[in-house]
Amino acid sequence: MAFVITDECLSCGSCAAQCPAEAIDMGDLHYEIDAEKCLECGACAAQCPAEAIVQE
């Protein structure tokens, strides 16, 4: 299951910097994960200070 970024996202960008698949980009309101690119490694979730990244 791919990871998703919830509305608790602070838009700090720390998750995007950690993503080895470059699957995270800024969306309209906060960062978003491209589920097709996501490797499901969890690096982004481990880095998120707001704990806003969860598995779908």
Rounded Cα distance, 20 and 6, in Å: 20
Q: Mean pLDDT in each 10-residue stretch from start to end of the chain (56 residues)? A: 94 97 97 96 97 95
- pTM score: 0.90
Name the class of domain 3-55: alpha beta
Instruction: Report pLDDT for 54.
Output: 97
- Kindly list the domain boundaries of the chain, sorted by start residue: 3-55
Q: Are 53 and 8 in contact (CB under 8 A)?
A: no
Instruction: Report pLDDT for 35.
Output: 94
